[in-house]
Amino acid sequence: MTRDKEIVLSVRNLTKAYSAAGEKVSVLRGVNLIVAAGERVALTGESGSGKSTLLHLIAGLDRADGGDIDFAGTPMAGLNEAGLAALRRDRLGLVFQQFSLIPSLNVGDNLAFQSRIAGRNDVAWQTELAQRLGLAGLLDRYPEQLSGGQQQRVAIGRALAVKPLLLLADEPTGNLDETTADNVLALTRDLVARTGCSLLMVTHSNRLAATLDRHVNLSAGLIA
């Protein structure tokens, strides 16, 4: 984080509304956010404040109503579905609760598959990741044979295996007990530092948020 101050992610004036039961509900009302290379940012906010929506928009899983997201210097509004998919595949790591592991692949394959799809399968790096995440002995197991913490470590490994520019994490420790959560987070911080990638993590825990470089709070669709 001391290297350069190159900007990885720039979110400007982002708006997003959903219509529910015929009524329009504004979730994001002009969010601005900048994440520099190597910077680790915690995003907090109350339930329904739009944290996950913001993360989805940054990941290109959904389209914003207004505003811009520049990722690695590329305006995301200019990308089509395939372009967004390529962006996710090559430059982003996602650790979301609902995009869990693929149950029919073993740990090794789960770790490798995004980088395989991205076409840069770095076996040495995967071995190191497995080592550091404490998964080295579990590579042949299937997700259903792992504990929650182990599963989440595999998910983090999978996301980092492609050496992304930015790791997006949505409550990665939400289902874990405190000790495990601390443990997983510490590992994540280490690995992020090791790869030089940036981190944007949604959490509802101020305690965890405090362990990162910066802490932003989303409230009423705005970042204060």
Partner 1 sequence: MTRTLWVLAVLLSHWRRHPMQFATLVIGLVSAIALWSGVQALNQQARASYDRAAAAFGGTRTATLVSRSGGTFPQQLFVDLRRAGWPVSPVLEGRIQIDGRSFRLLGIEPVTLPAEVGDTPAIGGDLQSFVMSPGETRVAPETLTELGASEGGSLQASNDMTLPPLRLAARLTPGVLVVDIGIAQQLLKMPGQVSRLLIGKSKGPRASLESVAGDRLRLIKPDAETDLERLTDSFHLNLTAFGLLSFFVGLFIVNSAIGLAFEQRLPMLRTLRACGVSSRQLNAVLLLELVFFALVAGLAGMVVGYLIAAALLPDVAASLRGLYGAQIPGQLSLRPQWWLAGLVISVLGALLAAAASLLKAGRLSVLAAAQPQAWHQAQRRWVMLQGMAALAVFTAALGLLWFGDSLLAGFALLAAILLGAALALPLLLELVLAGGERQARGALAAWFWADSRQQLSGLSLALMALLLALSVNVGVGTMVESFRQTFVSWLDGRLAADVYINAADDAQAKAITAWLRERRDVIAILPGGRAETQFAGAPLEIFGLPDRATYRDRWPLLRSAENSWARLRQGDAAFASEQLARRSKLSIGGAIEVPTPNGDWKIRIVGIYADYGNPNAQIAVNFDALTNHFPTIPRTRIGLRANQAAVPKLMSDLREKFGLDEHSLIDQATLKAESKRIFKRTFSVTAALNAFTLAVAGIALLTSLLTLGNSRLPQLAPLWAIGITRRQLAVIELLKTMSVALVTALLALPLGLLVAWCLIAIVNVKAFGWRLPFHVFPLQLAELLAVAMAASLVAAAIPVLKLARLQPAELIKVFADER
| 3-state DSSP percent of the chain in helix, strand and coil, to 5 | 40, 30, 35
Handedness of CA 68, 46, 35, 199 (dihedral sign): negative
Closest CA to 99 of 61, 129, 131: 61
Judged by CB under 8 A, the stretch of 7-15, 24-32, 54-62, 194-202 that binds partner 1 is 54-62
Asked whether position 116 contacts partner 1 by CB under 8 A, the answer is yes
Judged by CB under 8 A, the stretch of 22-30, 55-63, 183-191, 199-207 that binds partner 1 is 55-63
Residues 146, 107 contacting (CB under 8 angstroms): yes
Residues 41, 199 contacting (CB under 8 angstroms): yes
Among the listed residues 13, 32, 74, 104, the single contact to partner 1 using CB under 8 A: 104
Q: How far is the CB of 99 from partner 1 (least distance, A)?
A: 4
For partner 1, give the closer residue by CB, 57 or 187.
57
Distances (CA, A) of 193 to 73, 166, 173, 199: 22, 12, 19, 9
Asked whether position 56 contacts partner 1 by CB under 8 A, the answer is yes
Q: How far is the CB of 148 from partner 1 (least distance, A)?
A: 12
**One-character DSSP codes across 48-97:** TSSHHHHHHHHTTSS--SEEEEEETTEEGGG--HHHHHHHHHHHEEEE-S
Amino acid at 211: T
* Binding mask of the shown chain, residues 67 to 86, with x at each position contacting partner 1 by CB under 8 A: --------------xx--xx
Q: How far is the CB of 47 from partner 1 (least distance, A)?
A: 13
Asked whether position 89 contacts partner 1 by CB under 8 A, the answer is yes
For partner 1, give the closer residue by CB, 164 or 221.
164
- Residues in touch with partner 1 (CB under 8 A): 56, 59, 61-62, 81-82, 85-90, 92, 94, 96, 98-105, 109, 113-114, 116-119, 142, 158
